[in-house]
Amino acid sequence: MKHRAVGLMLGLMLAQATCLAVAQEGDEEAGEWHFTATLDGKPIGTHRFVVGGTAAARSVDSRALFTVRVLGILVYRYRHQAEERWAGDCLRELRTETDDDGTRQQVARRFDGDCPMSFAYWNPRLVKQQRLIDPQTGKVEPVRFEPLPDATLEVRGQPVRARGWRLQAAQQRIRIWYAADSKRWIGLDADTKGDHQLSYRLTSSRSTP
């Protein structure tokens, strides 16, 4: 197993999961959401999101910690925290700190003129974008979305009918899954280098006033 190659792919994937689908289309809610990440079906960590404010002035803060072990030996560690500030559908400010297995990186950017988006899975306009901001680097990345056939995902121990999109970017192919009834983001899957699969599944969520 090429642990470093898997680690690099994890870094790209997890950094781009700094925002999430938290409500029905056009009705974003404030609250907290927790996801579990697995590699080849084995848990490697969690990612927590806190969404606040109103639809006109939204804030999204996230924290992630992932560790990959083989025979009890730590072979890869990833930490990521991000703060995003939005005005409607437009990303206005991005601050991130990443520790990708000892390689540290910080991003601090403001977007005043244009109306860019990051990999903001909570926003239904995401799938209409051709370019997105990579939160780990702050750079613009060309992307393409394709609809997927409906599928059934296990979420919190229950089967959930899901509708998906394939996100194609420069270095990865990601399958994003939304609950068919509520339109909430419930998971993603990606094939990493070395024929491994990284998966995200919603484990808990709660809304706040």
- At 26 the pLDDT is 41
For the stretch 18-27, pLDDT in tens is: 544 443 344 4
Compare 184 and 24 and report the one with higher pLDDT.
184
- At 204 the pLDDT is 85
Q: How many residues does the chain have?
A: 209
Task: Give the structural domain span for 163.
Answer: 3-207
207 to 1, 50, 155, 175: CA distances (angstroms): 40, 10, 18, 26
Q: How far apart are alpha carbons 51 and 19 in whole angstroms?
A: 9
Q: Residue 145 above 70 pLDDT?
A: yes
Kindly state the average pLDDT of the residues 91-110: 93
pLDDT-wise least confident of 19-33, 37-51, 74-88, 116-130: 19-33
Q: What tokens does 68 get?
A: 């990959």
190 to 127, 177, 196: CA distances (angstroms): 17, 11, 8
- At 25 the pLDDT is 41
Instruction: Return the DSSP state at 113.
Output: S
Residue 30 neighbours by CB under 8 Å, 6+ apart: 51, 52, 53, 207, 208, 209
Q: How far apart are alpha carbons 78 and 195 in whole angstroms?
A: 20
H or E element, residue 9: helix 3-15
For the stretch 56-96, pLDDT in tens is: 888 989 899 999 998 889 999 999 999 999 998 889 999 99
Compare 118 and 162 and report the one with higher pLDDT.
162
Which CATH number covers residue 43?
2.50.20
Q: How many structural domains compose the chain?
A: 1
Kindly state the average pLDDT of the residues 6-15: 53
> Residue 193 in contact with residue 171, Cβ under 8 Å?
no
Residue 11 neighbours by CB under 8 Å, 6+ apart: 78, 80, 98, 100, 101, 136
